[in-house]
Amino acid sequence: MATEVHTPAQEASTTSLLQGIINDTADLIRHEIRFARTEIKADLSKTRDATAVLALGAGAALLGAILLALMLVYLIHWLSYPAGTAPDRDAAIPLWGCYGIVSAVFLALGAVGLYAGYAKFQSFNPLPDQTAQTVKENVGWIANANSK
């Protein structure tokens, strides 16, 4: 990375040394920007995956809630019949019970999906942490080099 100066140390001019420092700093900044872009792309990919899991979980939970509402409608309808006259009295499980079972399955799947998506979001930080750390180290190194 460093620009080599082929002149002996005694003959090196202040201008050429300063030019070398400026070129090295510019190279360092370019590398840090490239590193930040790579890190942000990786974090965006993780964010997209976590969002997809959350969306699937939310969709399953929404479907479960809709089925639960339909189950309540059928339960009220079933309860409104006089005893022993319900249209599905020979069924082992009444229609409202079937809706309840299916809605419970979808609500459970939705809860699992939402939890998995939330856990994926918690597993990473979308900010470029590694890049920020290396920039801090580089600034500290430059500050120490200039103070000597």
| Percent of the chain whose predicted confidence (pLDDT) is above 70 | 84
**Using 50, 70 and 90 to split pLDDT, how confident is the model at 2?**
low
DSSP 37-77: HHHHHHHHHHHHHHHHHHHHHHHHHHHHHHHHHHHHHHHHH
As a whole number, the mean pLDDT across the chain is: 82
pLDDT for the residue 91: 79
C-alpha 33/C-alpha 140 separation (Å) is 18
In the chain, what are the domain boundaries? 15-126
C-alpha 50/C-alpha 121 separation (Å) is 6
94-145 pLDDT tens trace: 888 999 999 999 999 999 999 999 998 888 776 666 777 777 777 777 677 6
* 142-145, Cβ contacts within 8 angstroms, sequence gap of 24 or more: 142/25
61-80 pLDDT tens trace: 999 999 999 999 988 888 88
pLDDT for the residue 12: 66
**Using 50, 70 and 90 to split pLDDT, how confident is the model at 3?**
low
The encoded tokens of residue 96 equal 């409202």
Q: Which residues lie closer than 8 Å to 138 by C-beta, 6 or more apart? A: 28, 32
The encoded tokens of residue 138 equal 């580089």
pTM: 0.62
Residue labelled with tokens 């005893």: 83
Say which amino acid occupies 144. N
**Using 50, 70 and 90 to split pLDDT, how confident is the model at 88?**
confident
Say which amino acid occupies 124. F
